[in-house]
Structure 1
């Protein structure tokens, strides 16, 4: 009898779940192609004004190269509000139920049990020249793990330590559909995106650039800060 053929894989060494640090995990290809496309299409709608995609200006007068919008809560350097206080002043769009549920499912897939509801989605859009400096997600009052989903072009993701922006850190390539979750001892780890890899996204997404959806639990009262 002929041998059973193994399914074709473009990967010489298939990517596997990997630890980035204590309490931090990378799960490649966590979102299938259909889920990726649905999220990209939804992001296009969510990004429309009011309270849409904007340039983020830092207190020192600089401008972030990745553009951003929020759902559930609006993030600005360095806090949260229910309106776009550093933009058009519009009320932030509500957190979609499907994203809150996706956040919980992602945390569970990474080995975390989360009892709080994910109520923040920060969506960053990176074009070919955008990057994100090393920073910590430290403006929330909850210690629930951060969930990060990648769509479109791949990037170099740098995951560091909790005390300094400098080494030691680990660089990993994130591709469309990849999931990163970090909590526990790594909840306040520095991380960033030093480089986007243009033209590497799945053609079927129709997306030029990279979208990153970061889901968080605010720990803030419903009425505001």
Structure 2
């Protein structure tokens, strides 16, 4: 049996690395390692480059208190600004955001099947994507995704450098929480009892991404959501 057929890989020290398995981190919160194949990761990197150019360009979001987020963000379908959704980016250039493509919704539905099994995903209708770019120094504090009027799951895709993803509870930013290593190609879905759990990224691991992805340095995180908004 070949190494690939066995599901393992040889590390730099010559030892076999164990395959990473699908894990339910909390009820409704599922980590599916290596879900995106390399070719699809490259396609998403190219798409993100186009979206980052506009009509609303990727930017550092300014918080109401004057703080500036260390990640850079661009949105599709709906524009997120703290703490609401709009069709136009009044906090950037006033332009209408790029549309949310049907093929990305199809990817979201496939992600729910991968996370939860057959029978899920058919009714999932994401209409917005938040695309965050992390350089080596970027972080994301513990927060809830709660501006949506829908309790449908959030689909999160990771490309590029790996990171520590901290997944917590629904009551507080503090413990208990679980730290998960997200690697390029990984899928993380949270819905159900975990839909409004606090989560964040305390650390990015620079230089850990596969050059074949075509991103260079840094990490892309694409999150798909149902806003539940009309218009």
Structure 1 length as normaliser, TM-score? 0.94
Moved more, 186-195 or 203-212: 203-212
Q: Does 1:129 align with 2:137?
A: yes
Q: In structure 1, how many angstroms separate the alpha carbons of the residues matched to 2:58 and 2:100?
A: 15
Contact preservation (8 Å) 1:147, 1:214: yes
Map of 1:30 onto structure 2: 35
Q: Does 1:75 align with 2:80?
A: yes
Q: In structure 2, how many angstroms separate the alpha carbons of the residues matched to 1:5 and 1:82?
A: 51
Give the aligned CA root-mean-square deviation in angstroms: 1.2
Map of 1:18 onto structure 2: 23
Q: Which runs of 4+ in 1 moved over 3 A?
A: 4-8
Deviation at residue 5 of structure 1 after TM alignment: 4.3
Map of 1:214 onto structure 2: 223
Deviation at residue 206 of structure 1 after TM alignment: 2.6
Q: Find the residue that maps to 1:106 and give its secondary structure.
A: helix
Counterparts of residues 1-225 of structure 1 (less than 5 Å): 4-7=1-4, 9-10=9-10, 12-111=17-116, 112-207=120-215, 208-221=217-230, 223=231
Q: In structure 2, how many angstroms separate the alpha carbons of the residues matched to 1:86 and 1:20?
A: 36
Deviation at residue 6 of structure 1 after TM alignment: 4.3
Q: Which segments of 5 or more consecutive residues in structure 2 lack a partner in the other structure?
A: 11-15
Deviation at residue 113 of structure 1 after TM alignment: 3.9
Q: In structure 2, how many angstroms separate the alpha carbons of the residues matched to 1:36 and 1:86?
A: 30
Number of residue pairs matched?
219
Contact preservation (8 Å) 1:114, 1:144: no
